[in-house]
Each structure stands twice: as structure tokens, then as C-alpha cells.
Chains A and B, each alone.
Chain A
Amino acid sequence: MSDPPALAQPLPWGPLALPVGDAEEVAIWTLLESVCDPEIPVLSLREIGVLRAVNATPPVWQLWITPTYNGCPAMSQMKEDLLAAMQQAGKQAEVLTGLAPAWSSDWITASGKEKLRAYGIAPPHALAQQAGTQRIRLAPKMDSARIACPQCHSLDTTETSPFGSTACKAMYKCLACAEPFDYFKPY
């Protein structure tokens, strides 16, 4: 069971590029680059936008994470991995969960999107800012023609299922090379 979320302050918004903060904080961020998403082991928690802040509260470091989806079962694993990395470096740390602002796939860094593609997962399209306020009125078909196959880069692809192996992915197939692939949903 994960700890209940805390809401001390709104977390930073948007993708986080290194370096962040002062020299001491940068050292922590750099250290934590080795902690990857358990489901997508090529992406650090910073790159996917889950690790939002590191705060020095001597002698303890506060690490703030936010869930991608409310039910994401990987959260407790991420927390353990972060604590293990800190412990290995001889640092005391606690991991806190924030909910606001809500995570968006727009927070995946540019390098993170490239790594996703190389790993075989089509990265999400940028989400229009108004998506958060616009009500969906009729079921719009996803514009699947614009999702490039991560294998052969063809745009001739189609959605096979809006839900996939994890909450954050949909299933696609490429009509050119016939390979199925995961698409990280814009969210």
C-alpha cells in the first residue's frame, strides 16, 4: 500500500531538463537518473515526468513523485527504487506523492521521447493545451495515420485497441511492416 498523497504545494509543471536547482540538488538529480520506470526501463523517472522535485530538508532529502494514472501499480516499485538508489549513495531520503498538477504525457522530455521510440514504443503526440478544458462531445477517431511505426517509421498504421499492456499505452499495428507496437497515449 502506498502512502496517501500529500499536497504541500503544487509541483513543477512541464518537462524537467537537467540541470535543476543548485549544485547539491543537481547531484541528487544526476544520481537518480539511474532510477528508471519499471515498465519502461530505458526512461528515467525524471524523463517520464514522474519525479518532480528534490528538496533538501537536512538531513533528509524529500523526493516528490506524481502518478501517471491513479491506478498505476508501478508507483510503489518506483518509490522503493528511489529509496534504494539514495541509500546506496549514503543519503537519507523520503518519497512523497503529489497529485497536483496532474501528470501529462507532455511532461516526457524530448530525449525521453526519443528513447521511447528506440525502445519500440511510439511516443505520444503533444497534447493541445485546451484538451484539459474541452469536453469530448462525440467519439472522435484517433488520428492513427499520424502515429509513426517505431520499427520502420511508416505512417501507415492503425489502432488495434485503445487500451494496452499498461494504463499509459494503446495498441497499434503497422500496415507497412505488419509489426504490432505500443503507443504511449497522449494524456
Chain B
Amino acid sequence: MDYALHLADNALILGQRNAEWCGHGPVLEEDLALANHSLDLIGQARLLYQWVAEHRADGSTEDSLAYFRDPHAFLNFTLLELPHTTALAPSARADRDYAVTIARNFLFSSYMVLVWEVLQYHPEPRLAAIAAKSLKEVRYHWQHAADWLIRLGDGTPASHDKAQAAVDFLMPYTQEFWCEWPAAKHALPDTQDMQTAWWTMVNEVLSEACLRLPEAKGHVTQGVHGIHSEHMSYLLAEMQSLARQHPGATW
């Protein structure tokens, strides 16, 4: 169940981050695209939270899992909580860089295409059903991100440099995709082939985008163990404050 929670947290946190573009997109079409993207992710998160809540049978609900847990209880990858900036940013309110949004969506959706492909055959029918539906969505997200990464990387010198900086900045965080922890090991027993396939997918698009493939090295983040960056609390504060001020509110 920790793995289902991890998948749900991934979807919710990236959904929340990308929804920050709502009303602020670089162009209207991208504003819509990111809002749609977030809607899909939050939909996936809801299905997974509902499942986790039922399994826990301790009064948890999808809402309590999303709004009433603190940062250390979230098991999402650190990559997904980072603000849309390349340099170390003081807060989520710093200027947003669309290249970071696109590069992150690309790196993560490349990974999730592979994950959902495996999980759609999972022996637990509930997870398999969620995976089969989510796979369709993440393929579309992947297309969108890959398309834009190529457009940015193979665009003007300025867009190329920003795209390269974004990929360089985010790549070390992808190491967390492959770190072994018990719940993931159980759900995805063999990540070796997956890792090879991921690098191939990423490399193909980066080379078409005229971008250099950076190494994934350095500090390995620990989001899956609930150890998050300083950005996580800001993100949760914004997302959870309304529900916490008015617990149980409905409309």
C-alpha cells in the first residue's frame, strides 16, 4: 500500500505544481494544456487515494490523505515538488521557467509510461485497472512534453540554453526513480530493463532536441522516504490551507 500511496502522492504533487500555471501560462494553449494535465494527475491521485483509504479502513478518506498529512508523510519523488525554476529558489513564488516545467514533465512521464505499462498487468485488479487508464493519459502527457522539449531545444539560442539548463538541473533528481525501497521492489521487481528503456527514450528526444544528455549523479534525494526539499512545505501550505481552515466543508 505504501507503493500505491507513493504513486498517488507523485500524481497529486505534480498535479498541484503544474496547476500553478493556471492563469499564468506562457500562451493560452499551454495554460489549458497544463490545467488538463493536472486534471488527469489529480484524477489518478483520487483513484489511488480512495483505494489506499479503503485498505487502511481507519477512517482515512481521499481528502484526509491529500489535505491532512504533513510533509514527512508524503512519499513522492523530490523531483515533483521542485518549483519551476532552475537555480536554487527561495520559494515557490520565484519566477517560473517553462523549460523546467516541460523538462520535468518529460523526464517523469517517460518514467511513468514504463511504470504504468508494467502495472497494467499487476495481479491486483484495482491497480491494474488504474494503470491501464493512466497509461493512456501519461502517453498523451509524454507527447506534449517531448514535443515542447524539441521545440525549445531546437529553437532559439535562448530557448536552447534554458532547456539545457533545465535538463541539467533536473537530471540528478531522476536517480530517485531507481533507488530500491521495499514497497517499490515488490511492485516493480525488475527496474534494470526499465532503466535502460528510460535512458533510450530520454536520449532519443534530447538528441532530436539538440540537447546534451547530462549524467544523473550527485546527491540522491529521498522523497520516497518522506525526506523532502524545503519547497515541499510551501507547496502543501498552499494546497492544504483551505481544507484545514474549514475541515469537512462541502459545497
The verdict on B204 contacting chain A, using a C-beta distance below 8 Å, is: yes
Contact A71 B43 (CB under 8 A): yes
The verdict on A19 contacting chain B, using a C-beta distance below 8 Å, is: no
Q: Which residue of A lies closest to B209 (CB)?
A: A139
Q: Which one, A7, A70, A137, contacts B43 given CB within 8 A? A: A70
Most buried by B among A69, A163, A171: A163
The verdict on A120 contacting chain B, using a C-beta distance below 8 Å, is: no
Q: When chains A and B are docked, how far (Å) is the Cα of A41 from the Cα of B43?
A: 23
Q: Which one, B44, B62, B135, B208, contacts A71 given CB within 8 A? A: B44
Instruction: State which residues 89-140 of A face B: CB under 8 Å.
Output: 99-103, 132, 135-140
Contact B129 A7 (CB under 8 A): yes
Residues of the B chain whose Cβ atoms lie less than 8 Å from the Cβ of A185: 140
Q: How near does chain B come to A71, taking the closest CB pair, in angstroms?
A: 3
Contact B54 A167 (CB under 8 A): no
User: Count of chain B residues with Cβ under 8 Å from any Cβ of A?
Assistant: 47
Contact B137 A137 (CB under 8 A): no
Contact mask for chain B residues 91-107; partner A; CB cutoff 8 A; 1 contact, 0 none: 00000000000000000
The verdict on A160 contacting chain B, using a C-beta distance below 8 Å, is: yes
Contact B133 A162 (CB under 8 A): no
User: Count of chain A residues with Cβ under 8 Å from any Cβ of B?
Assistant: 32
Residues of the A chain whose Cβ atoms lie less than 8 Å from the Cβ of B51: 4
The verdict on B175 contacting chain A, using a C-beta distance below 8 Å, is: no
Q: Which residue of B lies closest to A171 (CB)?
A: B29
Contact B140 A4 (CB under 8 A): no
Q: Which residue of A lies closest to B47 (CB)?
A: A70
Binds A, one of B75-83, B144-152, B217-225, B228-236: B144-152
The verdict on B14 contacting chain A, using a C-beta distance below 8 Å, is: no
Residues of the B chain whose Cβ atoms lie less than 8 Å from the Cβ of A171: 29, 32
The verdict on B126 contacting chain A, using a C-beta distance below 8 Å, is: yes
The verdict on B162 contacting chain A, using a C-beta distance below 8 Å, is: no
Known pairs A5-B47, A70-B134, A100-B128; A162 contacts B140 (CB<8 A): yes
Contact B136 A138 (CB under 8 A): no
Q: Which one, A70, A101, A187, contacts B44 given CB within 8 A? A: A70
The verdict on B63 contacting chain A, using a C-beta distance below 8 Å, is: yes
Residues of the B chain whose Cβ atoms lie less than 8 Å from the Cβ of A5: 47, 50, 126, 129
18 more A-B residue pairs beyond the given contacts A1-B62, A70-B130, A138-B146, with a C-beta to C-beta distance below 8 A: A5-B129, A67-B43, A69-B39, A69-B43, A69-B133, A69-B137, A70-B43, A70-B44, A99-B126, A99-B133, A100-B132, A102-B132, A102-B133, A138-B205, A140-B143, A161-B30, A162-B33, A163-B32
List 20 A-B pairs, Cβ < 8 Å: A1-B61, A1-B63, A4-B51, A67-B43, A69-B39, A69-B43, A70-B40, A70-B133, A72-B43, A99-B129, A100-B125, A136-B142, A139-B150, A161-B30, A162-B143, A163-B32, A163-B37, A167-B36, A171-B29, A187-B140
